[in-house]
Amino acid sequence: MRTRALVKRIIRQFIRDKRTLAMMFLAPLLILTLVNLVFSGNDYDPEIAVISSQEQMASQLEKADKSFTIYENKTLAAEDLENEKLDAILEINPPTTKITLEGSNPTANKAVMMTVEKTLKSLTPKNNQQTSMETEVTYLHGSADMESFDYIGPFLIGFFIFFFVFLIAGVSFLRERTTGTLERLLATPMRRWEMVAGYVLGFGIFTIIQSAIIVSFSIYVLDIMMAGSIWFVILITLMLAVTALSLGTLLSAFAKNELQMIQFIPLVVVPQVFFSGLFNIETMADWLQPLSYLMPLTYGGQAIRDVMIQGGGWPEIYDEVLVLAGFSLLFMILNVLALKKHRKL
């Protein structure tokens, strides 16, 4: 009842604030479009398994470039490829050469092709060019016309939703405190958890709309690769939004004004870009890597990728969705406790 009153009020306030609505719904679309236009790939060291009937050839390859590793066993290689320990499998059985790419990451695909081409060329004697063999390329996931944006796009969708919801919900809750209305509410019989629940539900309604708009725009206008179901993507982005919402309202308790809320962005939001998998975590110092487990975006981004690129469904994403739900619940409970600072009950 009291929570419903709060939800209704938040919706009314939000609808009056056209500019914030636009920021939440349109700004991510603009940025995604820009990134789509400007994005270009960067250097990448691929991991390639070599399986060859010619042992000499295989060991030559392994010596020539550290990207190559000899695998005796094809099923083992296939397994590692599926687990993304490998980027590709190179099978050399003259006269055919077969490359199987993992395929999700276009940057990795490009790097694999270049490394293989370069190395094979350097190993083939100049006078023997006609033996250059036919190469057959197959993809485990994705396809040759997958662009870099298809790879980072799913992650960015998650990121922008996280970013804007974090900021808007955080600032709104902060205003409740700075304008004295929080205190006014605490003089009513409203419970602390009712207040937190009201905020999550009230903003939650807008984040559903936001998720739907951003995901549809990416798929139907930007033509991002979409192998799975749009509903799963919307579900994941929604969970991510609720996490951002609960984290934003929680952290607003530690800010005195809007500017201080914005100061949380470099502390809380930006690190997620670096640690959550947009950039390769494996290339990071070992002691830094566990940080990625603390970042909600790691789970959100991974799950969206699972669906959009690898066509995953519920079995592939449920664990990530549950982790996000856990984060949200944790932040909400902490927020209820943080409000204790204002009123003990």
Partner 1 sequence: MTSVIDVFDVSKNYGSQHVLENISLNVKRNEIYGLLGPSGAGKTTLVKMIAGIETPTNGRIKVLDTDMPNLHNMTRIGFMAQSDALYVELSGKENLEFFASIYGLKGQKQKERIEHAASLVNLTDYLKRPVHQYSGGMKRRLSLAAALLHEPEILILDEPTVGIDPVLRQSIWNELYKLSDAGTTILVTTHVMDEAEKCGQLGMLRDGRLIASGSPQQLKESTASATIEDAFLYYGGVRNEN
Which is nearer to partner 1, 172 or 328 (by Cβ)?
Answer: 172
Residue range at the interface with partner 1 (CB under 8 A); choices 35-43, 158-166, 188-196, 299-307: 188-196
Which residues, other chains included, contact 284 with Cβ-Cβ below 8 Å and sequence gap of 6+? 275
Give least dist CB 188 to partner 1, A.
5
Is 256 one of the binding residues for partner 1 (CB under 8 A)?
no
Using the minimum distance from each CB to partner 1, give the nearer residue, 8 or 118.
8
Residue 344 binding partner 1, by CB under 8 A: yes
Figure out which of the listed residues 74, 118, 184, 256 binds partner 1, where binding follows CB under 8 A. 184
- Of 8-67, binders to partner 1 (CB under 8 A) are 8-9, 12-13, 16-17
Whether the Cβ atoms of residue 50 and residue 98 lie closer than 8 Å to each other = no
CA of 77: how far to CAs of 48, 89, 113, 194, in Å? 9, 7, 18, 53
Closest to 245 in 3D by CA, of 190, 172, 191: 172
**What's the min distance (Å) between Cβ of 189 and partner 1?**
4
Closest CA to 148 of 182, 194, 111, 189: 111
Least distance (Å) between residue 1 CB and partner 1: 6
Q: How far is the CB of 176 from partner 1 (least distance, A)?
A: 9
- Segment near partner 1 (CB under 8 A); pick from 42-50, 183-191, 239-247, 292-300: 183-191
User: Which of 58, 156, 185, 233 is the binder for partner 1 (CB under 8 A)?
Assistant: 185
Compute φ and ψ for 280, nearest 5 degrees. Answer: -70, 120
* Residue 5 binding partner 1, by CB under 8 A: yes
Helix (H, G, I), strand (E, B) or coil at 312: coil
| 237 phi and psi angles, rounded to 5 deg | -65, -35
Using CB under 8 A, which of 21, 57, 137, 186 touches partner 1? 186
Looking only at Cα atoms, what is the longest distance across the chain?
90
- Which range of residues in 50-58, 83-91, 178-186, 292-300 is near partner 1 by CB under 8 A? 178-186
Q: Which residues within the stretch 205-234 sit at the binding site for partner 1 (CB under 8 A)? A: none
- What is 40-89 written as a DSSP string? --------EEEEES-HHHHHHHHHH-TTEEE-S-HHHHHHHHHTTS-SEE
Separation of alpha carbons 232 and 321, rounded Å: 10
Provide the binding-site residues for partner 1, judged by CB under 8 A.
1-2, 4-6, 8-9, 12-13, 16-17, 179-181, 183-191, 342-345
